[in-house]
Amino acid sequence: MKRILLATVASAALAGTAGAEDVKLGVIFGFTGPLESITPTMAESAELAMSEVAASGAFLGGSTVTPVRADSTCVDATAATAAAERLVSAEGVKAIIGADCSGVTSAILQNVSRPNGIVQISPSSTSPGLSQVEDDGLFFRTAPSDARQGQVMADIISERGITSAAVTYTNNDYGNGLANSFAEAFRAKGGEVTMQAAHDDGKADYSAEIAALSSAGGEILVVAGYVDQGGRGIVQGALDTGAFDTFFFPDGMYGDTLLNAFGSDLEGSFGDLPAAEGDNAALFQQIASDAGFDGTSSYAGESYDAAALVLLAMQAAGSSDPAQFKDRMFDVANAPGEQIHPGELDKALRLLSEGQDIDYVGATGVELIEPGESQGTFREYNIVDGAYETIGFR
Amino acid sequence: MDLLNALVAFANFVFVPAVAYGAQLALGALGVTLIYGILRFSNFAHGDTMAFGAMCTILVTWGLQSWGISAGPLPTALLALPVGIAVTALFLMATDRAVYRFYRKTRAAPVILTMASLGVMFVMNGIVRFIIGVEDINFADGARFLIGAREFREATGLDEGLAIRSTQAITVVVAAVAMALLFWFLNRTRTGKSMRAFADNEDLALLSGINPGRVVMVTWLIVAALATTAGVLYGLDKSFKAFTYFQLLLPIFASAVVGGLGSPIGAVAGGFVIAFSEVGVTYAWKKVAGYVMPENLQPDGLAQLLSTDYKIAVSFAILVLVLLFRPTGLFRGKSV
C-alpha cells in the first residue's frame, strides 16, 4: 500500500499537466469469507498494475491512479451491493475490479454497475451464467467461463478415443455447471455420458455414489469436485473397489495432495487446469515477487490483467469515462498490434498515446471473446510416475 | 458364471462397504445409547469425542512410527489405540467433572444436559482443530488390501472384481470383539449389572447400595473406549478429517434411535440398517440385472430406485417411520 501511495504521489508531482486527474478504481473482493485466503494477493496484483501505470507518468496526460478496496464477502449479495454502491457514489470510481465469486459479481453488475454505467471486470467469476446476463457491454472477465472448460474437457477426452464417461460433481453451482457443460459438449461429439451423479462434500461415506457410478459404467470417471473435499473420497472409493482405474480431473481436482494420497494408483489418469502458456507466467511471478507477494497464487495473474486492461482501454479512448472506454476493451486485448507482456504497461501506454495498436497478452495470455470474457488457456496434463506431466495447451 | 458375477458385483459395491460402514456406525451408536441409557441425555459431543480419540491415537501412531515400531501387516494405529483410549477417558472424566456433574447434582432436565453437551461439542471441535488442524490426514499403514479387485479377477477369471480392504476386515473384527466384550460386561459382571440397574431405576439402584459415582465413571470409560475405537476404525478406513467426524453425528444418532435409544443390541442393529439403506436403496441395479436377467428383459436405464442425492433422506425416512409406528425403536429402547 505504501509503495502505491508513494508512486502515486511521485507521479502526481512529476506530471501536473493540464487535463491530468486522479482516476479511482474500485477493488472489490471477498476479504472476509470463503476466499479470504487468496483475495489479498488478488488485490495486491490488481494494485500492482495500477501503481505501474501511475508510475509511468504516461497515463492520460499524467493522471494518477488510486485503488479503493471494498469487501464483497463472496457470499452475501446485499453486503456486496452496498459496498459497491459506496465505491461508486462516495468514492466516484470509474471502474470496478471484481467481484470474486460469481453470485456477488452478478448482484453488483445488476444493482450497481449497470444503473450507474460503470465498467466492471472480474478476474475469477467462472459461472457459465455470466455469459448470458444483460450487461449493456459493461461487464468483462479475465477468467474463462466453465462452459469453455467443459468444451476443452470434451475435446481432450474424445481425442484420446474415449467414447463413454461417468461424471460425478460436487453439489454446487461450480460442479453442476461444469458437469452440464461437459456432458453437453461430449454428447455433441458423439460420446456417451453414462451417469451424472452429484456428491456432497464432507460426507462420511461415498460407497453409495461409487456403487451407482460403477453400475452405470464408462471408460473413465470425470470428477468435477474439490481435491480436499468429496472429490478425494470418490477417487479413493473408486480405486479401492476397482470401479474405475482412469480418471479425468478438471481444475478443482488439481493439487499435490491428490498425488501424495494415491501416487502410482493414478497412473494414466489425466486432466486440465486454467494456466498461462509460455514465459508470461514466469515474468509475472518475477515482478510479483519483487513487489513482495506470490504471483502463482490463484487468480493473481487474472487480477493484474483485469486492472491493466481497464487502464489501457482508458488510455486508448483518451478518457476515463466508462461510456467511452468500454468499447476499447476488445481493441487493447486482442490482435492486431504489438504484444504487451507483464511489466510492459509503460510501453503500452506510450504506444497507445502515439495512436498505435497493442495486443495485451499479460500474465495469463488474455484473449477476449464475446461477450467480453477471456477465452482462457488450459493446460492438459497426464499423471506419469506419480507426477504431473504437461502435454500441451489449448 | 453370470450369477457368480452378479453376486460378486453386489458384494463388492453394496455388501462389503455397507458392512464396514455399519460396524463403524454401530460402535458410535453404542456409545450414544449407553450415555442415553445410563446418564439420561443425548450426547451431541459424541462425534467430536470420536475425533478427539482418533486424534490422540494418530499422535501416538506418529510417535511409534518415528521410533520405527510397526505392527507388520496391521496398521500401527492399533498399537496406539489403548493409549488413545486412556487419554480420551481422562479427558471425558475431566469434562464430566467440570460440566455434567453439576447438572446431575441439581437433577437438571435431560434437555439441559443435552444443551450442555452441545457446548462441550463446540469446545472439543476447537481443541481438535487447534491441535491437529483441519486437513485430511491419512494414517493407515500396513497392507492395504486383503483381496484386491485386480488380483481377484485374475485368480477367479470372473469379469467382476471383489476388493476387501484390510481396514474393512479389521473394522468388522474389532467391532465384533468390542461388542462381545460390552455385552459380556453388561450381562455377566457385577459392575455391568449395577450399571443396568442404575439405568432401569436410579432411585432403586441407589437404595440397594450402588455407588452412582462409580457407575458414571465406568460409563465414561466404556464410552471413551467405544468412541475412540469407532473414530480410529473410521479414520483407518477412510481418512481423518475433523469436519467429517462432526458430520458422522447424524447417521450415528439415526442408528441409535432406529434401534431404540438405550438398547445396546438396538444400536448395533440400527447401525447396519442405516448403512445398508444408504448404500442399498440408491444402488443402480443395472450391472447386476445385466448378469442375471435374460437379454430381452434387461433394463435400459440404470434401474436405480433413488438418486444418490437422496441417500441421507433414505435413512431419515426410516427414522421417521420407526418413530411413527414404533416410537421406542426396533428393540424397545426408552421412548424419546
Question: Looking at the partner chain, which of B163, B244, B311 has a beta carbon nearest the beta carbon of A208?
Answer: B311
Predicted model pTM:
0.74
Q: Measured between alpha carbons, how far is A371 from A145 in angstroms, rounded to an integer?
A: 11
Which grid coordinates belong to A264? Answer: 502410482
> Do the Cβ atoms of B13 and A228 come within 8 Å?
no
On whether residue B297 sits in a domain, the answer given is no
Share above pLDDT 90 across residues of chain B, in percent, rounded to a whole number? 40
Say yes or no: B169 contacts chain A, CB-CB below 8 A. Answer: no
Q: Is the pLDDT of residue A228 over 80?
A: no
Reported as a single tens digit per residue, the pLDDT across B22-60 is: 999 999 999 999 999 888 899 999 999 999 999 999 999
CATH topology (fold) of A147-267:
Rossmann fold (3.40.50)
Cβ-based neighbour number of residue B185 at 10 Å: 15
Q: How far apart are CA A129 and CA A177, in angstroms?
A: 9
Q: Where are the beta strands (DSSP E) in chain B?
A: 145-147, 164-165
State the pairing for strand pair A22-29/A95-98: parallel
User: What ipTM was reported for this prediction?
Assistant: 0.77
d(CA B20, CA A207): 10
Cβ of B153: how many Cβ atoms within 10 Å? Answer: 16
C-alpha cell at A127: 459461472
pLDDT band per the 50, 70, 90 thresholds, residue A13: very low
Fold match flag (A2-143+277-374 vs A147-267): yes
Residues A329-340: pLDDT tens digits? 999 999 888 999
Contact B136 A195 (CB under 8 A): no
B26 C-beta neighbours (distance < 10 Å), count: 30
pLDDT grade, residue A14 (50/70/90)? very low
Helix (H, G, I), strand (E, B) or coil at A22: strand
Which residues in chain B come in under a pLDDT of 50? 336
| Residue B18 forms contact with A (CB below 8 Å) | yes
d(CA B26, CA A20): 74
d(CA A305, CA A285): 13
Question: Does some domain include residue B258?
Answer: no
The Cα B144–Cα B274 span in angstroms is: 26
Q: How many domains does chain B have?
A: 1
Planar angle of CA B310, B247, B64, nearest 5 degrees: 130
Strands A220-224, A247-249: pairing kind: parallel
Residue A274, preceding peptide bond in cis (omega within 30° of 0) = no
The count of C-alpha atoms lying within 13 angstroms of the C-alpha of B212, restricted to the half-sphere facing its C-beta, is: 13
Cα–Cα distance measured from residue A320 to residue A310, given in angstroms and rounded to the nearest whole number: 9
Q: Is residue B160 included in any domain, yes or no? A: yes
Q: What CATH topology corresponds to A2-143+277-374?
A: Rossmann fold (3.40.50)
Quote the domain boundaries for residue B136.
18-245
- Which residue has cell 470474457? A373
Q: Is residue B318 part of a domain?
A: no
What number of CA atoms fall less than 13 Å from residue B144's CA on the CB side? 14
Rounded to whole angstroms, the Cα distance separating A50 from A310 reads 10
Amino acid at B221: L
In this structure, are residues B288 and B295 in contact, taking their beta carbons and an 8 Å threshold?
no
Cα–Cα distance measured from residue A164 to residue A160, given in angstroms and rounded to the nearest whole number = 11
- Contact status, residue A109 vs residue A83, Cβ threshold 8 Å: no
Three-state DSSP string of B206-262: HHCCCCHHHHHHHHHHHHHHHHHHHHHHHHHHCCECHHHHHHHHHHHHHHHHHHCCC
Per-residue pLDDT of A173-197, as tens digits, reads 778 888 999 999 999 999 999 989 8
Q: Is residue B336 a part of any domain in this protein?
A: no
Which residues have CB under 8 Å from A101's CB, separation 6+? A30, A34, A35, A72, A74, A75, A124, A125
Distance between CA B183 and CA B264 in Å, rounded? 8
Chain B residues whose CB is inside 8 A of the A211 CB are 13-14, 17, 279, 282-284
Strands A247-249 and A192-199: unpaired
For residue A207, give the nearest of B18, B153, B304 by CB distance: B18
Give me the amino acid identity at A313: A
pLDDT of A10 over the 60 cut: no
Question: How many residues would you count in chain B?
Answer: 336
Query: Model confidence over A252-289: pLDDT tens digits?
Result: 888 777 888 887 888 889 998 877 666 788 899 999 99
CB B162 within 8 A of CB B12: yes
B163 lies within 8 A of chain A by CB: yes
- Cβ contact (<8 Å) for A199 and B308? yes
Question: What are the sequence ranges of the domains in chain A?
Answer: 2-143+277-374, 147-267
d(Cα B222, Cα A91) in Å, to the nearest integer? 64
Would you say residue B117 lies in a domain?
Answer: yes
| Residue type present at position A216 | A
- CB within 8 Å: B247 and A204: yes
Contact B248 A171 (CB under 8 A): no
